[in-house]
Amino acid sequence: MAAGKKKGSVEGLKDQLYSRAEAPEVHPEERTPLSHSVAHAPVAWEDIQKKPAAPTPHTPPVGFHGGEVKGLEPMKQKKGFSFATKFLFFSIAFFCAGAGVAAYMFFLGGNTISSQNIDMQIIAPSLIDGGKETSFQILVHNRNQAPLELVDLVIDYPDGARDPKDQTKSLMHDRQTVGTILSGQQIKRTASAVFYGQEGSPQKVRARIEYNIPGSSAVFERQVEVDFTVGSSPIAVVVESPDRAVTGEEFTMELLVQSNAQSAVENVVIQAQYPFGFSVVRSTPEAEAGGTLWRLGSMEPGSSKKITLVGKIEGQDGDERVFRFLAGSNADQTDTQVRVPFLIVPQTLTVERPFITAVIAVDGKTSNISAPAGQSVQGTVTWQNNLKEAVSNLELKLSFKGAVLDTNSVRSSSGFYESSDDSLVWTKTQDSSLGSIPPGGSGVVHFTFETLKPGDGGLYANPTIDLNLTVSAVRQGQDRVPETVDSAATARVSVASLVQLTAQALYFSGPFTNTGPMPPVAEQSTTYSIVWTVNNSSNTLANTAVSSVLPPYVRFISSQAGSGIQYSPASRTVTWSLGDVKPGAGYSGTARTAAFQVALTPSTSQVGQAPVLTGEVTLTGQDRFAQVPVQARANAPTTRLTADSDFVSNMELVLPKQ
C-alpha cells in the first residue's frame, strides 16, 4: 500500500499477526507445566476388597512453591460404588421393607377383612328320604379382626323342594336376617324343607351370606354348598315300555305305582308329559285331561296300582322321544295339575320306520274321517316296501268292525271278502304282483262299503266303523332263512248323523186358524199355516238353523209362540234357530217342529196355478261327533195341501177374480 495511507483494522491485525518483530504490547502467557499422574482404579471385583495402593510421589512442577500452587487447594481423589454393589444394597433394603409391611399387617392390620377368614359349613344328612321334612344347620364363624355388618343368610334349594308348612308351595330360596357377626363370633341357623326326587338322584343345597364391612357400602358374600342323595320317595313309579316303537303302530307302556310311605298317602296323582307326535289310543284306568292325568286316590303302605297306556307315535327313523311321568298329590279334584310333586320318572324310546308301511284312506282322507249315513264309501290301501331287499308273498288283510256297517256291501275288485270275520284279503292268488316286491316297491288296492240307514239296523249313538289292516311278507335273512315282517295301520270312520227336513202347508188344520177363500182367488187374501219338521238320527247337531225366503205375493203374519222363528222384512227371510238338536229326534224321540202363518194374495197371472208359499227351505248345522257340517233341504210348500186331511183335489189352483 502507499506510504502514509491509513490501513484498515483487518489489515492492521494481519500485519501484527505475521510480523517478525516482537510487539511491545504483547506479553507471553504464563503456562502451568503438566505433571505425570497414575490412576488407581480397580479392574476386577476382587480389587474392591483390597486396600488401594498409595499414590506414587512425583516432583512438583516448575512454578510450585513448597509443593503447592498459590491460590489452589490440594485436590482430593473421590471414591464411588459399582452398580452391583448398589443393586445388592437395594435388594437388602426392599426385603427389609417387605418384612416390615408383613409384620405390620400380621400384628397391627386388624381392620383388613377377608372372605377367607369366614368359615361356613352346612350340616345335613347325606341321604334324605323324599317327602319327609328335613332340617339342617348352617354354621358361620367370623375369624376377621373386625365385625361383619348387615349380614343376611340366603339358602338356595334344588328343584322340587317344598315348604314344610305348606307343601303346595315350592321352595326355591330362603333369606334370613342375621344382623352383625362380631370378630371371633360363631352363629348357627336352622332351615327345613321337604325334598322330592327320583330315588338315588343327587341333589344340592347352597348357602351364602351377604355382608357389609365397616366404613364401606359394598356388599360382599361367602358361599358354601352340600351334596346329598334322595332316598326312598313316598311314591315310587316303575315304567315298563319297549325300547323301540314303530311309527304309526300301537305300543303299550305299563306304570307300576307303589307306596313306600309308612302311612297312607292321600290323593295320589300321576301326570304324563308326552313327547311330540304321541297320541293316546286308550288307557286303563281311563285318564283325564286329554289322557294325561290319573287320580289313584289313597294308597296304603306297601300297596301298588297299575296303569296301562296304549298309544301311537309318529316320527322319523331313529328319532328319540322322552316320556315323563310326574307322581304327586292334589286334593282338588277339579285341578288337572300336580300340586305336590314327589318325583319325575323319564322314559326314552327310539322311533323306527316299519318294514312295510301302509296307509288307509277313506273318501280321500287319512285322518278325521267321516262318512254320511246310508251311503257308499270309497277306500284305498297304499303300501310300500321300506327294506333294502326284496320281499315275497305280500299279504294284506283289512278287517271291518262297526254296528252301522252294511256287511253285504263290502267289495274289492282284486281282493277276497271273508264274511266269517268281515275282512278283505289281498294275496298273490288274487294279484300276482304281490308275489315278489322289489326294494322300495309300492302299490294300491281299492275297496268300497256302505253304512246302514237309520232304522235299518236300529238307531246308534255316535256310530263308527273301525278299519284294521295287517301286512305281512317274507324276506330272506342273512342266514338265508325266511323271516316274516309285519306292519299295521288303522283308521276310524265316524258316521255322520242323518238329518231330514220337511216343510208343509196347512189350511184346515195346524196351530193357526186360517181365513180367506179356498181355493184361493186372484187379488184376495187367504192365510196358510207353514210347519217345519226336523228329524235327527244319531249324533248331536250344534248351531242348527232353518231358513227360507218369502215370495213377493206372500206376507208374513206371525209365528208360533216360543218357536224361535223370526222374520226379517228387509230380506223377507224367515229363520228358525234350533240350537242343539239331540240324537234320535223324530226316530226314538219327538221330532223338532215349528210353525208360522202367512197370507197369500195371488195375482191374476197365477190363475190356474198352485203358487209356492215360501222359497226352498234349507237347514245348516254342525255334527258334534263327526265334526262335519250338516245340511238338509226341503221343497218349497205350495197351495197343494197334501198333508191336510180335509184337502180336496184342485183346491190348490187359483181361481179368477170374482
| Alpha carbons 522 and 607: distance in angstroms, whole number | 7
Q: How confident is the model at residue 398 (pLDDT cuts 50, 70, 90)?
A: very high
pLDDT in tens, 515-573: 999 999 999 999 999 999 999 988 899 999 999 999 999 999 999 988 899 999 999 99
Q: Tell me what pLDDT residue 4 has.
A: 45
| Alpha carbons 156 and 138: distance in angstroms, whole number | 12
Q: How confident is the model at residue 37 (pLDDT cuts 50, 70, 90)?
A: low
**Which burial class, exposed, middle or buried, applies to 536 when counting CB atoms under 10 A from its CB (0-12, 13-18, 19+)?**
buried
- The average pLDDT across 463-480 equals 78
- The average pLDDT across 138-166 equals 89
DSSP conformation class of 143: -
Question: What's this model's pTM, rounded to 2 decimal places?
Answer: 0.47
Closest CA to 593 of 526, 536, 522: 536
Q: Tell me what pLDDT residue 215 has.
A: 83
| Alpha carbons 307 and 256: distance in angstroms, whole number | 7
Q: Are strands 220-230 and 127-128 parallel, antiparallel or unpaired?
A: parallel
pLDDT in tens, 41-58: 555 555 555 545 444 444
Average pLDDT, the chain: 83
Given a cut of 90, whether residue 446 has pLDDT beyond it is yes
pLDDT in tens, 474-512: 876 545 445 555 667 889 998 888 899 999 999 999 899
- The average pLDDT across 624-649 equals 91
Q: Tell me what pLDDT residue 45 has.
A: 54
| Greater pLDDT, 225 or 29 | 225
Q: Tell me what pLDDT residue 1 has.
A: 43
Q: How confident is the model at residue 22 (pLDDT cuts 50, 70, 90)?
A: low
Q: Is residue 210 within 8 Å of residue 106, measured between CB atoms? A: no
Taking CA atoms, 539 is separated from 376, 501, 583, in Å, by 19, 16, 5
Q: Tell me what pLDDT residue 8 has.
A: 59
**Which burial class, exposed, middle or buried, applies to 255 when counting CB atoms under 10 A from its CB (0-12, 13-18, 19+)?**
buried
Given a cut of 70, whether residue 151 has pLDDT beyond it is yes
Closest CA to 530 of 551, 558, 552, 564: 558
Given a cut of 90, whether residue 295 has pLDDT beyond it is yes
pLDDT in tens, 532-544: 999 998 889 999 9
Q: Is residue 114 within 8 Å of residue 130, measured between CB atoms? A: no
- DSSP of 607-627: BTS--BSS--EEEEEEETTTT
- Where is 567: in which H helix or E strand? strand 565-568
Give the E-state strand segments of 102-172 in sequence order: 118-123, 127-128, 133-142, 148-156, 162-163, 166-170
Q: Tell me what pLDDT residue 486 has.
A: 64
pLDDT in tens, 319-335: 999 999 998 888 888 88
- The average pLDDT across 582-596 equals 91
Name residues whose C-beta falls within 8 Å of residue 46's C-beta, 6 or more positions apart in sequence.
none
Q: Is residue 103 within 8 Å of residue 206, measured between CB atoms? A: no
Closest CA to 351 of 479, 251, 442, 445: 251
| Alpha carbons 316 and 494: distance in angstroms, whole number | 29
Q: How confident is the model at residue 38 (pLDDT cuts 50, 70, 90)?
A: low
Q: What percent of the chain has pLDDT over 70?
A: 83
Return phi, psi of residue 142, to 5°: -95, 110
Q: How confident is the model at residue 294 (pLDDT cuts 50, 70, 90)?
A: very high
Domains of the chain: 115-230 (2.60.40.10), 235-352 (2.60.40.10), 356-495 (2.60.40.1530), 499-634 (2.60.40.1170)
**Looking up cell 191374476, which residue turns up?**
604
| Alpha carbons 162 and 171: distance in angstroms, whole number | 5
Q: How confident is the model at residue 306 (pLDDT cuts 50, 70, 90)?
A: very high
Sign of the torsion angle spanned by Cα atoms 294, 297, 298, 302:
negative
pLDDT in tens, 70-85: 444 444 444 556 777 7
Q: Is residue 395 within 8 Å of residue 434, measured between CB atoms? A: yes
Reduced to 3 states (helix: H, G, I; strand: E, B; else coil), residue 421 is coil
The 3 state secondary structure assigned to 180-235 is EECCCCEEEEEEEEECCCCCCCEEEEEEEEEEECCCCCCCEEEEEEEEEEECCCCE
pLDDT in tens, 91-134: 888 877 766 655 555 444 445 678 889 999 999 888 887 777 88
- The average pLDDT across 225-233 equals 83
| Greater pLDDT, 472 or 270 | 270
